[in-house]
Amino acid sequence: MLPLPDQPGALPPVPMQPRWHRRALGLVRGAPAGLRRSLAGLARSARRYAYLNSPSVAVLFPPLLAVALVLFMRHPRTNYIFDEQEALLGNPYVNAVGGLRFMDFLHRDFWGLPPNASIGSYRPIPNVLWRLLWSVSRHPFFHHLYNIAIHALNGAILGSFAYSVTRRRAAGWLAAASFVVCALLTEAVTGIVGIADVLGGLGAVLALLALRLPAWATTPAVFAAVALGMFSKESAMVCVPLVPLAALLCAPMLHPQRPARLVRALLALGGALGAFVLYVELRRRWFPSPLPEPLSRPLAAGAGTLARHYRELLVWFHQAPLPNDWMNNPLCQADLPHRVAGALRVYWRGLLQVFFPFRLSGDYSYPQEPVPATLFRWESVAGGLLMALPLCAALVLALVGRAREWLDGRRMRQAAPGSFYVLPQPSGTPLIRLGHRPWRRPLLASGFVLGVAGLCALATEAVLIYRGGSSSIRLWPYAALVLAVGVGLFVEGWRSQPVAVQAVCAWPMRRLGPALVALGLAWLVVSYFPHSNIPVLLPTVRAERFWYFPAIGTSLVLAVLFAWLGERWWRLPLGLGWLGRKLHLGRAAASAAAHEPRLATAVLGLFFGLQAVQTYRHAMDYRDDLAFWEGTKKAVPRSAKAHLNYSVMTGARGDLETRLAESRIAASLAPEWPMAHVYTGDTLCRMHRPDEAWPHYARGFGLDPNGKALIALALQCLYDEKRLLVHDAELRALADAHPGSWLAYLAVDTLNNHERHKGVEPKHRPRGYNEGPKQD
């Protein structure tokens, strides 16, 4: 009989489990038995699903969709928030007003505006999708659901590509999970306007997936994928250099029998470049927007050849003028060195948020991201280093990977001369011989015929152009496609490389690691650079949706890093027991040593747990417009726009005191912002204090005499409060001080015709909140 614990000679007590372990067990043990069995069965099923199925798109998509729905889904009673007002409710094309037909998507921008009123965003595919689904439902909850579904699909495609390169299930699942749960992408996924980003990302990952196809199908598949991305968002132009780079680095892993890395890279470049040219030419034809003002001026007399060619390229690209608003992008007021310094600071802060998303916001306007006072603040220096070093590291890693590939091949050929060499693999793994194909000669013959036909057609087109002739049909696009298919067929029919690989074995990490990390690092920098405000000033200084394309690169890097961590340190304990012994904690140290988690498990749990929690928290900011702006002003307290929009949302719910306080905060943060002053006056006017409102109105009118909506808002409230004629002299003096402005017209017209129009003429009044496009 064993002694009881309180008797002399009793057995030592069982070591106490750590607190986190006790809490978890307590939650599980406290649950009903049926629920415990269900949770255990669900865990076993998930583990079996992950281990027994190769991470293809079909396998990855269902669990990723479930996770994305849990993390990114908005409240069913949500409303239209921020840019969603203009993108859908105020979009004349989506609402089919003004006689706009379905095919008019070719001639309207992302906001449904014509070329002469566009802000430069020609994205017809999102407009088509919205127009088709607008008749199904007009509720914002419905229209954000397909954002989530496409985002999960993008993660599944990226994970499938990572698995194809690495032959590691862990790498495929980790790449997909890193992308899908990335908290920095919440704005693009949860916000309805982010449909352009997720569709552009779909084109990018489909282009990567197209690299798995045979060489003859690479060019048309990449062309179709990049075209889908370009017509969804112009940011997909980064695929032109990046997809060929991916083909160059990953061809030995994707096509070990016939790598032909340079040829496959050229074929991918042809497809991506063809899609880019098609997008620009069709945009120039269907959407003839005016040129930006700097391109309308002639070049200086002493401009060099490079400057002239660069200008010709910009004129051919024909980007519509982008708005420069110092409130949304303070860098438009800076000279080039300070603009670059500010852009690098923003890049550093955004890159930190990819890995440590502690503060997420839907707005970063003035003065949250001001022009830096000096050029060499530490954040700007860190941003510059992290923009240059990844490119250098990518080049070094690509060379290292190529050298290791050559050394491995030489070593194995020496070990088996005249035969084939075997890639490093676990012992006992079955091998497959990649040898001669019976259809090799037909492939070579077909490739030769198509290649010659394509070259002849291109030569004919060149001769016609050289002689000044013209043809009713441009031959070169079709000839280039035929040539690319012919070259691909020739590559696939060429004699295979004498190599044997295992059927389902992973590539050695020393081979695949450098290539995939190099691709991820290059993808990170190159895909972010167009959004950095360095090459061209954008309407926005900083937005989290700008990181949708760079997150593809970071996900590939994290997948390799986590897979390597799991292989090397899977059995390495976290070290709590060792730390406890060093601190002489006695029984606690023994308990920690017995129950502590493994290091790899802890790192993965911390990373994905942080991402998931922050994603869910930020997605909950999209419950409604009030929660969105409340969360925004807490995340970025120095954003004047966040405070002003929060004041409007509280005022719409009857809390005018809070609206007045927040409006005054906005005016103090941005004293030169006319909207802050007019809205402060409007709050006082609605509180039946119009005499106190007038100084704020006058200040706003003087700052922006052409702010039609603001002027109409103020004049209408003065009329409603019976104080319009009291300020007759001041309004006429302001009109005389700004001749030819909207202030001069509206002030005089309203004073003269206020009885007939009941205030401001209705067609000049601003569109109401949650109101559709104006019919006039």
pLDDT band at 82; cut points 50, 70, 90: confident
pLDDT band at 315; cut points 50, 70, 90: confident
Say what the pLDDT of residue 33 is. Answer: 67
The arithmetic mean of pLDDT across residues 658-664, rounded, is 94
Closest to 183 (Cα-Cα) out of 485, 544, 672, 649: 544
Alpha-carbon distance 150 to 162, whole Å? 18
pLDDT band at 377; cut points 50, 70, 90: very high
pLDDT digits (tens, 9 = 90+) for 709-758: 999 999 999 999 999 999 999 999 999 999 999 999 999 999 998 888 88
Strand partners, 573: 598
Cβ–Cβ under 8 Å, residues 659 and 650: yes
Between 230 and 487, residue with greater pLDDT: 230
Between 618 and 3, residue with greater pLDDT: 618
Between 654 and 473, residue with greater pLDDT: 654
**Can you tell me whether residue 501 is helix, strand or coil?**
strand
Q: 480-494, 585-599, 629-643, 754-768: which range is least confident on average?
A: 585-599
pLDDT digits (tens, 9 = 90+) for 403-458: 888 887 777 666 654 444 444 443 333 333 444 455 677 777 887 788 888 888 87
Say what the pLDDT of residue 412 is. Answer: 64
pLDDT band at 496; cut points 50, 70, 90: low
Dihedral sign, CA of 102, 107, 111, 117? negative
Ranges of H-type helices in 494-598: 509-528, 550-569, 576-582, 587-595
Say what the pLDDT of residue 2 is. Answer: 31
Alpha-carbon distance 635 to 493, whole Å? 58
Give the count of alpha carbons within 13 A of 616, CB side only.
Answer: 9
- Tell me which H or E stretch contains 422: strand 421-422
Say what the pLDDT of residue 5 is. Answer: 33
Question: Among residues of the chain, what percentage have pLDDT more than 70?
Answer: 83
Say what the pLDDT of residue 674 is. Answer: 94
Return the CA Rg of the chain. Answer: 31
DSSP per residue over 434-468, as a string?
E---TTHHHHHHHHHHHHHHHHHHHHHHHHHHHTT
Closest to 350 (Cα-Cα) out of 155, 534, 603, 532: 532
Cβ–Cβ under 8 Å, residues 738 and 61: no
Closest to 376 (Cα-Cα) out of 345, 407, 415, 417: 345
Alpha-carbon distance 412 to 408, whole Å? 6
pLDDT digits (tens, 9 = 90+) for 127-152: 999 999 998 999 999 999 999 999 99
pLDDT digits (tens, 9 = 90+) for 264-314: 999 999 999 999 999 999 999 999 988 888 787 887 777 778 888 888 888
Between 764 and 21, residue with greater pLDDT: 764
pLDDT digits (tens, 9 = 90+) for 474-483: 677 788 888 8
